[in-house]
Amino acid sequence: MSYTKFSKEVTKWLKANGLSCYGTAYDSPEETKARMDAWMRGSKEVLHQWITEKRYRELISCAHGGWYQDSVIFEPLAVYFVGNHLFDELRFLCERGIRFSVEDMLSTIKSEKEEHGALDIKTIRNIDVPSYVAGRSYSHSGEIAKYRKRALDQIIRYTGYLELIQAPAEYLEQVTVLQKSVSDLTIKTKDLKPFRFRLAAET
């Protein structure tokens, strides 16, 4: 697993630089923070090293794994792909998360329709997602709103990258249509078909 390899490389870097990589239950808050800061520094160093070595697939796998916040691997990697005009790698990095968020939304929409026979789109669009997530109550409508917001945030971020990389107009239009259909809650599973890109197998 790429994440395991990445973590081992970070640990190796920390040890080589005399930095703590293991904590104990007796660590003070200051010691814990110092260790976490060191781990973040090591993560950035290994990220830079792997980018230099063009280990793109492994880095994309780490980003997809969800072990790190997007600011640690996903976003720096996307910025690098944009800056080096690596459009295929950018697609492979970004499409997966969008697709998963939309699929989660569609699955919950299906459950809502099975239970209530219809979808109250106006109510869903008016839900305050941060308040819903912070609360303890569960509802299909709240979950749909949550996945909708997540997908829209991901699509909007992706659109920004696509504009910077000057992606083909036809593809950019497909992403724009996807954003509208997610926003309107008119999205269908078949609409995700253009967003299943994978990098060609290495030879």
Q: What tens digit of pLDDT does each residue of 145-176 get?
A: 999 999 999 999 999 999 999 999 999 999 99
Determine whether 33 is exposed, middle or buried from the number of CB atoms within 10 Å of its CB (0-12, 13-18, 19+). Answer: exposed
pLDDT at residue 202, rounded to an integer: 63
**Other C-beta atoms lying within 10 Å of the C-beta of residue 125:** 13
pLDDT at residue 91, rounded to an integer: 98
pLDDT at residue 86, rounded to an integer: 98
Is pTM, for the whole model, over 0.85?
yes
Q: Is 161 left (phi over 0), alpha (psi -120 to 50) or beta?
A: alpha
Q: What tens digit of pLDDT does each residue of 53-64 get?
A: 999 999 999 999
pLDDT at residue 145, rounded to an integer: 97
The CA distances from residue 181 to 58, 111, 160, 184, 190, in Å, are 32, 19, 18, 5, 12
Place of tokens 């990589």: 21
Specify whether the CB–CB gap between 58 and 2 falls below 8 A. yes
Which regions of the chain are under pLDDT 50? 203
CA–CA dist 114, 124 (Å, integer): 16
| N-to-C CA span, the chain | 20
